[in-house]
Amino acid sequence: MLEYRDVSVVYPNGSQALDGVDLAIDKGEFVFVVGRTGQGKSTLLKLAYREVLPTSGQVVVAGKDVVRMPASRVPYLRREIGVVFQDFRLLPRKTAWENVAFALQVVGASRREIHRRVPELLEQVGMAQKAACFPPQLSAGEQQRVCIARALANHPPLLLADEPTGNLDPQTSLETLDLLARINLGGTTVVMATHDQALVNHVMRRVIEIDGGRVVRDQVGGYGAEEAGA
């Protein structure tokens, strides 16, 4: 589903975000990408939807070489990837319903398809009763649920979540994580960047840790797996 082959990223200011990363994430996996702030977690995710290009190496999504992909094909790549951001990025003057509908409108979905799909998505994330609310009327957790619904609009096989709980309280963070875990059980590959160890151990999936731009841990079973095997 997602491969990084000897990937390095050096930004124009000279800072190295990633250094020789080799990773393979299989279809249907739920993977946490962990590490301190500034260690390359977000860069790793941005490479997948070509927000960032590597300085060297290959990034392959569902068999497609993202680096060599013509710019004209990038919008089609992004239709196959749902992205959930820490800062939500909802349109403040559109309701929850309209925010989700907009994701379908931009890919040319018919009005009939939009009116069928949006209620399904809002129901899936527990926001059907708040469909007519604008983002400022919603709590942070509710806004994040709308963001997740929007990310799922095109049935993406891959969902990337970049610190999706960073602005949420602990209980709402767990609820958001549980929602992502349920989405994964439906067959969607989920890659979630976080620095929250408690969240990682809540569902005990594969953990990839990045430090100084390098992969320093890749194990299944949360943080506890290493200690259990000691």
CATH classification at residue 28? 3.40.50.300
Q: Look at residue 195 in the predicted model and tell me its pLDDT.
A: 87
Half-sphere exposure of 93 (CA within 13 A, CB side): 0
pLDDT band of 230, cuts 50, 70, 90:
very low
- Is residue 2 situated within a structural domain? yes
**Contact (CB, 8 A) for 176 and 146:** no
Predicted confidence (pLDDT) per residue in 125-177, tens digit: 999 999 999 999 999 999 999 999 999 998 999 999 999 998 899 999 999 99
What pLDDT score does 167 carry?
87
pLDDT at residue 30 above 90?
yes
pLDDT of residue 224: 63
| 209 secondary structure, DSSP code | E
| Residue 159 within a domain | no
Q: What are phi and psi of 132, to 5 degrees?
A: -90, 0
Tally of structural domains, the chain: 1
Exposure on the CB side of residue 53, measured as CA atoms within 13 A: 10
Q: According to DSSP H, which parts of 127-217 are helical?
A: 140-151, 170-185, 197-203
In a domain, 165, yes or no: no
- pLDDT of amino acid 222: 79
DSSP state of 132: T
86 falls within a domain:
no
CA 132 – CA 134 distance, rounded (Å): 7
Average model confidence (pLDDT) for the chain?
92
Alpha carbon distance 30, 160 (integer Å)? 10
In a domain, residue 32? The reply is yes
Extract the tokens encoding 144: 């994040």
Single-letter residue type at 117: R
Determine the pLDDT at residue 187: 94
Q: What is the pLDDT of residues 51-108, one digit of tens each?
A: 999 999 999 999 999 999 999 999 999 999 999 988 899 999 999 999 999 999 988 8
* pLDDT at residue 225 is higher than 60: no
Residue written as token pair 């602990």: 170
Alpha-carbon distance 23 to 203, whole Å?
Answer: 21
Whether 14 maps to a domain, the answer reads yes
In this prediction the pTM is 0.92
Range of the domain at 195: 1-72+188-230
> What is the sign, positive or negative, of the torsion defined by CA atoms of 174, 225, 40, 151?
negative
Q: Quick one: pLDDT band at residue 221, thresholds 50, 70, 90?
A: confident
Residue with tokens 């949006």: 118
Which tokens belong to 188? 């969607």
- Say what percent of the chain tops pLDDT 70: 97
Report yes or no: 8 and 56 within 8 Å, Cβ to Cβ.
yes
Q: Does 171 fall in a domain?
A: no
Question: How would you label 60-82 residue by residue, b for 16+ Cβ within 10 Å and e otherwise?
Answer: bbeeeebbeeeeeeeeebbeebb
Q: Examine residue 89 and state whether it is found in any structural domain, yes or no.
A: no
